[in-house]
Amino acid sequence: KAGVTQTPRYLIKTRGQQVTLSCSPISGHRSVSWYQQTPGQGLQFLFEYFSETQRNKGNFPGRFSGRQFSNSRSEMNVSTLELGDSALYLCASSLTGVTNQPQHFGDGTRLSIL
């Protein structure tokens, strides 16, 4: 069974640009969550999508947005990039997102802002 696939693995952008990251969940998983990991702030929740609807959102500015398609694939977009957006962005999927279901993570997209 294929795991969570994130593309691209590495990305280099400059300030002011925008970026789109992609996540394909494990087959059958309908919940997709996104996290940002930085050395200073650790792992922080961005948002969660379930059945094409944003179900939960973390404390990030509106420059961070996402969506989910009918096949459960998800994209995350960051506009007007800032130096502080440099981070590892992790996508995780689970069946429906109830308490006892583990989230399975992808390998992440490492975003560097120059």
Residues that bind other proteins (CB under 8 A): 31, 33, 35, 42-45, 48, 50, 55-56, 58, 88, 90, 92, 94, 97, 99-100, 102-108, 110
The total of other beta-carbon atoms located within 10 Å of residue 79's CB is 14
Asked if 111 and 26 count as a contact pair (C-beta separation under 8 A), the reply is no
Question: Residue 84: what are its φ and ψ, rounded to 5°?
Answer: -70, -5
State in angstroms the smallest separation of the CB of 60 from other proteins: 12
Task: Quote the distance between the C-alpha of residue 81 and its chain's center.
Answer: 16
| CB closer to other proteins, 9 vs 15 | 9
| CB closer to other proteins, 85 vs 108 | 108
Question: Residue 63: what are its φ and ψ, rounded to 5°?
Answer: -65, -20
| CB closer to other proteins, 11 vs 88 | 88
